[in-house]
Structure 1
């Protein structure tokens, strides 16, 4: 993807080296707990009182040359998503509110709770911010075998897709169902929710191509990344078999297909993953 010398977003918050806090119990479970309490109308502060600091924020952070390039990449991609979604929202009589991208190392505190880098990139509707530890780029290359700058661009665009869902009201419609349905039934909605974010990532990629920003092989990098983080692929790698009823993001084929649908369409229409058949 063409990024050198291009406009960067000003909505980037750099918390690298600041450390963070970890929920007792840790990881994605902590985020889910706080999200559940928030959506139920409770006070997440009661949970956050159990957070313990885990690092010293007084030491200045020194970034590597690779990190400098990654900061440029994600900042440019975020800027492009701002332009694309502002136009799309205007075309539909809506106003796009730009999210903030938080870059952190190790662990981070959000309005949804605390998380470590092992959670991976995530979006918090509570503060409308995206959170990314840039070390995930190495995970894409080495752990998931999905190298390339556009693979990382896809990740950013997917999280922005969740922000779009928040602005459209989809998040408020889907997440409360967690309290009304069994885990297995809610997982089905969660999968559709994630696939729609993949579709929206594809919508952005469609417009990036229209602006002549994509380079040879970029589309393949995004599709490879989408496939690499499908539930079935991840479960096979981790345990040797799959448990479909536990899927929360969709299969590799589903994630790849919905991203590509967005790439082909380039519009909000066609992204109703809740009613359409794959």
Structure 2
């Protein structure tokens, strides 16, 4: 009896903590409201299952408590009960999985015409690359990575000469336009995550993964690494700044292209060798 009451008390405390908790998702700033809806549906279904199972267990403990003279009756199986449990479980699993699979299908297929941006993770900072006037990103290869070419662009690829290189961890994007983010890692496993965007994806060395979203709110948002990537993992933060079209255009004009950065590095090297 006391165990049954304790289980009910734990259930009530758990529900009270959930509804009174101050920890909630950050306000969404992208088109992925469907992800929030799917998570809410998951909480309601699993929460209902949690309540039903705990109450049923408490009832069984109370109903089958020891009483003088009572003897247990052996019932090896109940086909009707088993059938209903199988049906209910199947329906619950389908309801849980179907919305998630639908969201995933949308999540991995960027719309035609989405602007491509590359995010590169390395211990322990974020760098970015945007296409230049030709609207094409140049080829990359890990063999070209060095202090003057941290993103590993192929110097022989003409498509990459006008690529915009951003190494200060600050990415600007225009509001209201779909963006496909190509993800690369230079060293270990990282994970690109912006809580307000609801989008996250692993950066696996040797593989180019991707995600897409449409920024819907102007503002500044933290870019986090959601995979433990070493001692400096907590400090691996960047900034995603969503601008108006005019502010975004001004920011682009202030960025260096890959060709310009190579010339700057060459000039600096000459000055250092000939003081």
For Structure 1 versus Structure 2, the TM-score category normalised by the shorter chain is under 0.3
Q: Which has the larger radius of gyration?
A: 2
Task: Pick the structure with more strand per residue.
Answer: 2
Task: Pick the structure with more helix per residue.
Answer: 1
TM-score by length of 1: 0.21
